[in-house]
């Protein structure tokens, strides 16, 4: 497991964070005095309606937006410039079509201006991610699931223990999505990383997560927390347990009332 500064076991923290969007009409509040923390090695999902502010949280974490007030800590460190300090996997894979799979995967190492890239280490990761033999192919030659594996590998090579995944499987067909969820849990366990995951799919959140943050109103002051009543390791059929089905139905009903 990677070594990071002493942070009392917290990989990510928001403390009294406020954020407004600005437009011609003025200021639109999104986050109001929001505080939460995610422990090292946790898998936490955020579920909420479109436009509720889920992606804004990611943009604040990666430094694409700046909070009006409050503090954001990554591994116990408060940083104004957070670009490149976490691994980020967007909804679309955003692979560069003119670069090979290897070149796409190692892009974070180039951005970090590493003078030498350990080819053997990259080869091991490509094999581990099921991409051996595809190193010199281009994104157009890969399936959607394999492109998402490259995107996740690229996020992993950022060097951070904190990974942000923004609806990474939403564009995949149902069967591929299930396989990718299982694959993601395997990689998360191997890497001992901390994952914050955005999804609209309540079943996906229940299958993957230790905890789920619920966003129902904008602006929001708190992230309501739901603990997932499933032990690990997990298989898809565990979602059929009575307690999980009841929780899923109650969450669906809550969001139905907001539509």
Residues 137-196: pLDDT tens digits? 999 999 999 999 999 898 888 878 999 999 989 888 999 999 999 999 999 998 889 999
Taking Cα atoms as reference points, which of 65, 79, 88, 77 lies closest to residue 163? Answer: 88
Residues 148/180, Cβ–Cβ less than 8 Å: yes
Residues 85/74, Cβ–Cβ less than 8 Å: yes
Mean pLDDT across the chain: 87
pTM summary value: 0.88
pLDDT band at residue 259 using 50, 70 and 90 as cut-offs: low
Residues 33/17, Cβ–Cβ less than 8 Å: yes
Give residue 160's pLDDT. Answer: 84
Taking Cα atoms as reference points, which of 207, 248, 217, 249 lies closest to residue 49? Answer: 217
pLDDT band at residue 73 using 50, 70 and 90 as cut-offs: very high
The yes-or-no verdict on residue 16 having pLDDT over 90 is: yes
Residue 110: phi and psi, rounded to 5, are -70, -40
Please report, rounded to a whole number, the percentage of residues in the chain having pLDDT higher than 70.
Answer: 93
Residues 6+ apart with CB under 8 A from 49: 215, 216, 255, 258, 259
Sheet holding 77-78, edge to edge: 26-39, 10-23, 69-74, 77-78
Give residue 3's pLDDT. Answer: 45
Residue 164: phi and psi, rounded to 5, are -110, 120
In this structure, the number of other CB atoms found within 10 A of the CB of residue 111 comes to 12
C-alpha span between 55 and 59 (Å, rounded): 6
Tokens 């992606």 belong to residue: 55
Q: Please report which residue ranges of the chain form alpha helices under DSSP H.
A: 54-62, 101-105, 107-111, 119-128, 144-156, 174-191, 202-208, 242-256
C-alpha span between 166 and 171 (Å, rounded): 12
Beta bridge partners of 36: 14
Give the homologous superfamily in CATH for domain 1-86+161-170+192-259. P-loop containing nucleotide triphosphate hydrolases (3.40.50.300)
The yes-or-no verdict on residue 24 having pLDDT over 80 is: no
Residues 99/147, Cβ–Cβ less than 8 Å: no
Can you say whether the dihedral through the CA atoms of 82, 87, 91, 97 is positive or negative? Answer: positive
The yes-or-no verdict on residue 95 having pLDDT over 70 is: yes
Both structure tokens of 125: 């990761």
Residues 75-90: pLDDT tens digits? 998 877 776 788 888 8
Give residue 117's pLDDT. Answer: 63
Beta bridge partners of 199: 47
Residue 161: phi and psi, rounded to 5, are -85, -5
Range with lowest mean pLDDT among 112-116, 131-135, 167-171: 112-116
Give residue 1's pLDDT. Answer: 40
Ranges of each domain in the chain: 1-86+161-170+192-259, 92-159
Both structure tokens of 224: 């309501």
C-alpha span between 156 and 124 (Å, rounded): 13
Higher pLDDT, residue 138 or 24: 138
Residues 6+ apart with CB under 8 A from 215: 46, 47, 48, 49, 52, 53, 54, 223
Residues 221-244: pLDDT tens digits? 888 899 999 999 999 999 999 999
């Amino acid at each position: 497991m990677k070594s990071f500064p002493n942070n009392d076991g917290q990989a990510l923290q928001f403390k009294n964070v406020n954020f407004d969007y600005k437009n011609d009409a003025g200021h639109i509040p999104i986050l109001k005095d929001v505080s939460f923390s995610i422990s090292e090695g946790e898998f936490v999902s955020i579920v909420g309606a479109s436009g509720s502010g889920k992606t804004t949280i990611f943009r604040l974490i990666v430094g694409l937006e700046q909070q009006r007030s409050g503090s954001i800590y990554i591994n116990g460190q408060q940083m104004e410039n957070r670009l490149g300090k976490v691994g980020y996997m967007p909804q679309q894979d955003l692979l560069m079509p003119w670069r090979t799979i290897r070149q796409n995967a190692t892009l974070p190492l180039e951005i970090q201006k590493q003078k030498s890239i350990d080819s053997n280490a990259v080869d091991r990761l490509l094999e581990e991610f099921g991409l051996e033999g595809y190193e010199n192919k281009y994104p157009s030659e890969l399936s959607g699931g394999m492109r998402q594996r490259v995107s996740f590998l690229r996020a992993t090579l950022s060097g951070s223990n904190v990974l942000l995944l923004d609806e990474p499987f939403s564009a995949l067909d149902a069967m591929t999505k299930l396989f990718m969820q299982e694959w993601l849990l395997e990689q998360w366990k191997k890497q001992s990383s901390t994952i914050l995951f955005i999804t609209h799919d309540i079943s996906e959140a229940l299958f993957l997560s230790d905890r789920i943050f619920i966003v129902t109103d904008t602006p929001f002051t708190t992230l309501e927390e739901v603990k997932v009543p499933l032990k690990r390791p997990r298989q898809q059929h565990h979602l059929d347990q009575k307690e999980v089905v009841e929780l899923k139905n109650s969450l669906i009903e809550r969001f139905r009332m907001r539509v």
